[in-house]
């Protein structure tokens, strides 16, 4: 596998995720919607992939170490040589597992890249069930798979092809993705037999999390109380606080303020509003507290953030 001299881009960070948890990074372009990322995480880093979703499909290939991958509330412990196939539009994240360092590749591609122009036999029999089924879950591919070695080989070829970019590499990557789909289909019985059932509690948790995010999106510009959001979700304050901490790894107000700061970053770079106006616009009624919190999150004051040379934004 080629990892040098080509330098892979690391997996997008939390700054590439918008306020709805959608990843805003463009993976490739409209003519070739494919990207490959290589990321190294030390053993002491708890969060390896921040919670997000995107319209593209994703293959996480563990090159070294272990990590816990959560997809729509279902947890998979993936180790070296294994991979997890993540369907489109599903919330997923990755966490440190037993304080183990981890190196992994992420192959991200749009379904349109491999779909048929018409609904032919291949589309109906193989692609639609895997790419567009409403109940399709992530697939954890381990050494128990009949075609495990073939799948590894296909992914290794994709990674090398993307790195070297030799003539016709785009065509070769598309061919390898079709082989990857073929090997998955050969394991259909294994996949169906080993699907982890998503119980009603997990489905409810996902629904509640999305409902909380919608509430924040619609109400961040005004004062919000625990009583209000707890009642909206249908929990007591104590139950809501425990639920939020368990699912978002921080308190509700810490998350809310981080959300507001991301909104403020965008306004600083894309509007001429005064800083005090931005503070009020993003739900802070105390400009001094806004400045203190902004500096804590970004290491810059709002005015210095606006003046920085790189006129880019994390939203």
3-state secondary structure 88-114: CCCCEEEECCCCCCEEEEEEEECHHHC
Please state the pTM of the whole predicted model.
0.62
Residue 303 in this model has a pLDDT that exceeds 60: yes
Q: What are phi and psi of 222, to 5 degrees?
A: -130, 165
The CATH fold of domain 200-307: Arc Repressor Mutant, subunit A (1.10.10)
286: Cβ contacts below 8 Å, ≥ 6 apart: 279
Say how far apart CA 158 and CA 183 lie, in whole Å.
15
Burial 256-265 (b: 16+ CB within 10 A, else e): bbebbbbbbb
Q: State pLDDT tens for residues 227-239.
A: 999 999 889 999 9
Say how far apart CA 180 and CA 174 lie, in whole Å.
10
Torsion-angle region of 81 (φ positive above 0: left; ψ -120 to 50: alpha; else: beta) = left
Amino acid 64: pLDDT: 95
Residue 196 in this model has a pLDDT that exceeds 70: no
For 119-177, give the DSSP string. Answer: --HHIIIIIHHHHT-TTPPPEEE-TTSTTHHHHHHHHHHHHHHHHH--TTHHHHHHHHH
Residue 50 tokens read as: 């921040």
Confidence of residue 2 (pLDDT cuts 50, 70, 90): low
Say how far apart CA 116 and CA 126 lie, in whole Å.
11
Region of poorest pLDDT, from 1-15, 38-52, 134-148? 1-15
Q: State pLDDT tens for residues 34-93.
A: 999 999 999 988 888 988 888 899 999 999 999 999 998 899 999 999 999 999 888 999
* Torsion sign over Cα 184, 187, 189, 191: negative
CATH 2.60.120.280 domain locations along the chain? 14-194
Amino acid 95: pLDDT: 92
When comparing pLDDT for 3 and 1, which is higher? 1
Say how far apart CA 186 and CA 177 lie, in whole Å.
14
CB 71 within 8 A of CB 137: yes
Percent above pLDDT 70 for the chain: 90
Angstrom distances, CA of residue 309 to CA of 94, 181, 265, 306: 33, 45, 14, 9
Which range of 17-26, 41-50, 162-171 scores highest in mean pLDDT? It is 162-171
Q: State pLDDT tens for residues 85-110.
A: 999 888 999 999 999 999 999 999 99
Residue 203 in this model has a pLDDT that exceeds 50: yes
Burial 62-101 (b: 16+ CB within 10 A, else e): bbebbbbbbbbbbebebeeebbbbbbeebbbbbbbbeebb
Domain 14-194 = CATH 3.20.20.450: no
Region of poorest pLDDT, from 7-11, 60-64, 95-99, 270-274? 7-11
CB 114 within 8 A of CB 123: no
Residue 192 in this model has a pLDDT that exceeds 60: no
Confidence of residue 311 (pLDDT cuts 50, 70, 90): very low
Region of poorest pLDDT, from 68-82, 170-184, 195-209, 243-257? 195-209
Classify residue 274 as exposed, middle or buried by CB count within 10 Å of its CB (0-12, 13-18, 19+): exposed
CATH 1.10.10.60 domain locations along the chain? 200-307
């Amino acid at each position: 596998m080629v990892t040098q001299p080509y330098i892979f881009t690391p997996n997008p960070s939390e700054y590439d995720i918008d306020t709805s948890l959608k990843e805003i990074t463009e993976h490739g372009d409209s003519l070739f919607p494919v990207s490959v990322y290589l990321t190294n995480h030390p053993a002491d880093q708890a969060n390896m992939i921040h919670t997000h979703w995107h319209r593209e499909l994703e293959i996480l290939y563990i090159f070294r170490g272990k990590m816990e991958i959560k997809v729509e509330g279902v947890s998979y412990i993936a180790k070296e040589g294994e991979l997890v196939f993540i369907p489109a539009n599903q919330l997923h994240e990755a966490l440190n597992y037993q304080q183990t360092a981890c190196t992994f590749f992420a192959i991200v591609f749009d379904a349109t890249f491999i779909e048929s122009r018409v609904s032919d036999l291949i589309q109906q029999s193989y692609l639609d069930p895997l790419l567009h089924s409403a109940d399709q879950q992530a697939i954890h591919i381990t050494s128990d798979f009949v075609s495990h070695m073939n799948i590894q080989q296909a992914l290794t070829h994709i990674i090398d092809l993307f790195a070297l970019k030799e003539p016709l590499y785009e065509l070769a990557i598309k061919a390898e993705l079709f082989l990857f789909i073929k090997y998955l289909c050969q394991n259909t019985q294994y996949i169906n037999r080993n699907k982890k059932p998503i119980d009603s509690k997990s489905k409810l948790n996902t629904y509640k999390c999305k409902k909380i995010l919608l509430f924040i999106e619609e109400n961040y510009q005004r004062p919000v109380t625990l009583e209000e959001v707890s009642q909206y979700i249908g929990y007591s304050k104590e139950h809501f606080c425990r639920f939020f901490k368990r699912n978002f790894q921080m308190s509700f107000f810490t998350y809310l303020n981080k959300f507001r700061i991301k909104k403020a970053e965008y306004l600083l770079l894309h509007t001429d509003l005064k800083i005090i106006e931005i503070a009020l616009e993003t739900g802070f009624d105390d400009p001094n507290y806004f400045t203190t919190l902004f500096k804590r999150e970004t290491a810059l004051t709002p005015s210095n953030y606006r003046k920085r040379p790189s006129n880019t934004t994390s939203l």
